[in-house]
Chains A and B, each alone.
Chain A
Amino acid sequence: MSDKSLKLTNRPAAVIAMALFAVAAVTYGDASRMAVRATYGMSANAASYFICLFFVALGLGHLLSAFRISAGPTEDCDWRAIGWIALALTGLIGSVWLHAGFVLGATLLFTFTARAFGRRALLADFLAGGVIGIIVFLFFNKLLSLALPQGPLERLLG
């Protein structure tokens, strides 16, 4: 082994290795708290232990490649766009959480996702998203009687 081979050449692989070890530790902790109830053979936590082992092996594999294989060129990433989609999903989850209903959540999701892909017409998209949300809600709630989260607007429609 020369010095060169000990240099960290693939940072993502090293990060993934750490994540794998962390998940393995969590899984191990969870499995060790389970009571053994098996009659013969394996109990329910055996699979957890097995996955732990598997993750540790995968983590070691990643760690090995982190030092030996250099990372390919990573593409440029438009973090601003990712941020808009994160906001879009937050809008949806928030409005379901606060019982503001599906239509508002879908509208926010649509508007901010469109923004992430470069649209600037926020108001037009907001209206378009609202129309889509209402159509989807009416179709699935009325026609297929699926229970979508309801808020004030949905109760008005229903």
Chain B
Amino acid sequence: MDAIHLLIEGFSLAIQPANLVFAAIGVLIGTAVGVLPGIGPALTVALLLPVTFKLDPGGSLIMFAGIYYGGMYGGSTTAILLNTPGESASVVTALEGNRMARAGRGGPALATAAIGSFVAALIATAGLAFLAPLLVKVAVKFAPWDYFGLMLIAFVTVSATFGASPLRGLTSLGFGLWLGLIGLDQLTGQARLTFGVPQLLDGVEVTTLAVGLFAIGEALYMASRHASKPEKPLPVKGSIWMTREDWARSWKPWLRGTIIGFPIGALPAGGAEIPTFLSYTMERKLSRKPEEFGTGAIEGVAGPEAANNASAAGTLVPLLTLGLPTSATAAVMLAGFQQYNIQPGPLLFTQHAGLVWGLVASLFIANVMLLVLNLPLIGLWVKLLAIPLPWLYGGILVFASMGTMAANPSVIELLLLAGFGVIGFLMRRYDYPVAPAVVGLILGPLADSALRRSLQMSLGDPMVFLQHPSSAIMIAVATVALVAPFMFKGLAKFRQDED
């Protein structure tokens, strides 16, 4: 009941004309940037952070909500019309969606993605509104050792458990953790790995890393293979509206996708592509026309797209209640919060209750705006897709470097940006996941201080982590999640050897 009351208060904040305008701007620019090929939601949010610098926290967080949902929606448009998913979670959408677009059914594919995203985000945001206060009640009792255990789980699941190669995921995580060391230590004020460069004392900005890895890295990667693979957006032919049959085939996948997506997103586990793949396989099994899969089945767009959005809303649960980002997008969002000195976590709900509930209410509003604005504006988004690649990437790089300079106008920051770009390029070329590095950078210092606070409280006794059942269980879960993929790999190899 309390949550409903607070949510109504949040709506009264979000529905103020100025805030509605912020939400609308957020949705529009979020979609516009998200639609651009090669730009996923994480980069969309990172690129647009500077736009919100000078607004008051309330307004900019509300704009943020719009950017987040808009970027998600824009990404699926790219996946369907261009077959270049901006992020791993849209890969599945591209499978069937692009086939539909090739068969001249791009309109219904976009429509089912849009409406499915709407339904999923609506339900999942409601889930967030009711789950978050419950989780906060638990989280306020968390001690440093519990946080440490939780972060270990996040580290392992984000990098090792769900990736194609645990070694690569862990290496990416290690890179992020190492970057997290740079700068002044939070507890003692000692400088680590700054090599006498004063600009490094503040540490590495999350947005610089994200923009470097995602934007510059992606531009380098695309340029390196551009000569061999130019791609053109598919025109949206015929009606964009869904037929009665499309509706009949879509509504169940939407709901099933939501049910799969939200809990997985809400777990401190990361891996947004898992629910989309699960949903895809499920729809394929349940479909009355399984033969259409692979040639453009609408269920294959409706389900995964709903799962993707539901899990994205789900990641807001650990982000807001525990301050735990489990995806690159969530990590960048956290950086956005921190730029206003707002630290997500259980205290956020007591100290900035108005802000949080205003944000949750704005998520609902942004979601409705997306549906109202996007379907009629599909023509405009398609035009954005047709921007020639040279100008597109030229513009992306200008905007990316602008954002970095606006945050911190120094040559060192630009050199870091370029360096991260090169590393991002190499990671893409040699197939290392990028997201764990971003999560590592943001969680590394938090884990470090949680660990040391625990040890200070236990007077240096490391057994403190095992004496409390809550943290002991979490550390055990993390260990199992870390070891399991190697074990299974070993088992698989063992079997192969026997044959």
| Interface presence of B421 (CB below 8 A) | yes
Q: Is the pair B51, A117 in contact by a Cβ cutoff of 8 Å?
A: no
Query: Of A77, A78, A118, which contacts B390 at CB under 8 A?
Result: A118
In the assembled complex, the Cα of A129 lies from the Cα of B396 at a distance in Å of 12
Known: A61-B167, A129-B394, A146-B50. A39 touches B181 (CB 8 A): no
Known: A41-B460, A113-B219, A140-B50. A102 touches B167 (CB 8 A): no
Query: Of B51, B174, B195, B448, which contacts A144 at CB under 8 A?
Result: B51
Q: Per-residue CB proximity of B222-261 to A under 8 Å, as 1/0?
A: 1111111000000000000000000000000000000000
Q: Is the pair A58, B170 in contact by a Cβ cutoff of 8 Å?
A: yes
Which of chain B's residues 182-235 have a Cβ closer than 8 Å to chain A?
185, 187-188, 190, 192-193, 195, 216, 219-220, 222-228
Q: Is the pair B398, A109 in contact by a Cβ cutoff of 8 Å?
A: yes
Query: Of B390, B418, B459, which contacts A119 at CB under 8 A?
Result: B390
Q: Is the pair A37, B178 in contact by a Cβ cutoff of 8 Å?
A: no
Smallest CB-CB separation from A133: which chain B residue?
B398
Contacts of A55 on B, CB cut-off 8 Å?
174, 178
Count residues on chain B whose CB falls below 8 Å from chain A CBs: 62
Contacts of A117 on B, CB cut-off 8 Å?
222-223, 226, 389-390, 393-394
In the assembled complex, the Cα of A42 lies from the Cα of B462 at a distance in Å of 10
Contacts of A74 on B, CB cut-off 8 Å?
429-430
Contacts of A12 on B, CB cut-off 8 Å?
430
Contacts of A47 on B, CB cut-off 8 Å?
181, 192, 444, 448, 451
Q: Is the pair A147, B390 in contact by a Cβ cutoff of 8 Å?
A: no
Query: Of B391, B394, B411, which contacts A97 at CB under 8 A?
Result: B411
| Interface presence of B309 (CB below 8 A) | no
Which of chain B's residues 61-80 have a Cβ closer than 8 Å to chain A?
none
In the assembled complex, the Cα of A62 lies from the Cα of B167 at a distance in Å of 8
Q: Is the pair B190, A102 in contact by a Cβ cutoff of 8 Å?
A: no
Which of chain B's residues 413-435 have a Cβ closer than 8 Å to chain A?
414-415, 418, 421, 425, 429-431
Contacts of A145 on B, CB cut-off 8 Å?
54
| Interface presence of B53 (CB below 8 A) | yes
Q: Per-residue CB proximity of A130-147 to B under 8 Å, as 1/0?
A: 001100100010001111
In the assembled complex, the Cα of A128 lies from the Cα of B390 at a distance in Å of 12
Q: Is the pair B174, A54 in contact by a Cβ cutoff of 8 Å?
A: yes
| Interface presence of B395 (CB below 8 A) | yes
Q: Is the pair B223, A34 in contact by a Cβ cutoff of 8 Å?
A: no
Known: A30-B192, A82-B224, A113-B393. A132 touches B398 (CB 8 A): yes
| Closest beta carbon of chain B to A157's beta carbon, Å | 15
Smallest CB-CB separation from A46: which chain B residue?
B452
Contacts of A93 on B, CB cut-off 8 Å?
411, 414-415, 418
Smallest CB-CB separation from B464: which chain A residue?
A41
Query: Of A39, A85, A128, which contacts B391 at CB under 8 A?
Result: A128
Query: Of A26, A27, A92, A144, which contacts B53 at CB under 8 A?
Result: A144
In the assembled complex, the Cα of A116 lies from the Cα of B411 at a distance in Å of 23
Contacts of A132 on B, CB cut-off 8 Å?
394-395, 398
In the assembled complex, the Cα of A123 lies from the Cα of B430 at a distance in Å of 36
Known: A58-B167, A74-B429. A37 touches B188 (CB 8 A): yes
Q: Is the pair A78, B223 in contact by a Cβ cutoff of 8 Å?
A: yes
| Interface presence of B368 (CB below 8 A) | no
Contacts of B192 on A, CB cut-off 8 Å?
30-31, 34, 44-45, 47-48
In the assembled complex, the Cα of A136 lies from the Cα of B51 at a distance in Å of 11
Known: A77-B429, A117-B390. A65 touches B167 (CB 8 A): yes
Contacts of A97 on B, CB cut-off 8 Å?
411
| Interface presence of B399 (CB below 8 A) | yes
| Interface presence of A110 (CB below 8 A) | yes
Q: Which interface class (under 10, 10 to 19, 20 to 34, 35 or more) fits A? A: 35 or more
| Closest beta carbon of chain A to B165's beta carbon, Å | 9
| Closest beta carbon of chain A to B159's beta carbon, Å | 11
Q: Is the pair B455, A62 in contact by a Cβ cutoff of 8 Å?
A: no
Q: Is the pair B178, A149 in contact by a Cβ cutoff of 8 Å?
A: no
| Interface presence of B405 (CB below 8 A) | yes
Contacts of A129 on B, CB cut-off 8 Å?
394, 398
In the assembled complex, the Cα of A62 lies from the Cα of B175 at a distance in Å of 14
Q: Is the pair A39, B456 in contact by a Cβ cutoff of 8 Å?
A: yes
Q: Is the pair B406, A96 in contact by a Cβ cutoff of 8 Å?
A: no
Contacts of A18 on B, CB cut-off 8 Å?
none
Contacts of B414 on A, CB cut-off 8 Å?
89, 92-93, 96
Query: Of A45, A65, A78, A148, which contacts B225 at CB under 8 A?
Result: A78
Contacts of A26 on B, CB cut-off 8 Å?
193
| Interface presence of A51 (CB below 8 A) | yes
Which of chain B's residues 372-403 have a Cβ closer than 8 Å to chain A?
388-391, 393-395, 397-399, 401-402
In the assembled complex, the Cα of A8 lies from the Cα of B195 at a distance in Å of 35
Smallest CB-CB separation from B415: which chain A residue?
A93
| Closest beta carbon of chain B to A24's beta carbon, Å | 9
Contacts of B226 on A, CB cut-off 8 Å?
78, 81, 116-118
Which of chain A's residues 43-68 have a Cβ closer than 8 Å to chain B?
43-48, 51, 54-55, 58, 61-62, 65
Smallest CB-CB separation from A37: which chain B residue?
B188
In the assembled complex, the Cα of A40 lies from the Cα of B222 at a distance in Å of 50
Q: Is the pair B220, A114 in contact by a Cβ cutoff of 8 Å?
A: no
Q: Is the pair A109, B394 in contact by a Cβ cutoff of 8 Å?
A: yes
Q: Which residues of A contact B (CB under 8 A)?
A: 12, 16, 20, 23, 26-27, 30-31, 34-35, 37-48, 51, 54-55, 58, 61-62, 65, 72, 74-79, 81-82, 84-85, 88-89, 92-93, 96-97, 102, 105-106, 109-111, 113-119, 125, 128-129, 132-133, 136, 140, 144-149
14 A–B pairs (Cβ distance < 8 Å), ordered by A: A27-B193, A40-B456, A45-B192, A47-B448, A48-B192, A55-B174, A82-B425, A85-B223, A113-B219, A113-B223, A115-B390, A117-B390, A125-B394, A146-B54
- A30-B192, A58-B170, A113-B397 are known contacts; what are 6 more A-B pairs with Cβ within 8 Å? A30-B195, A74-B429, A84-B223, A109-B398, A115-B390, A117-B390
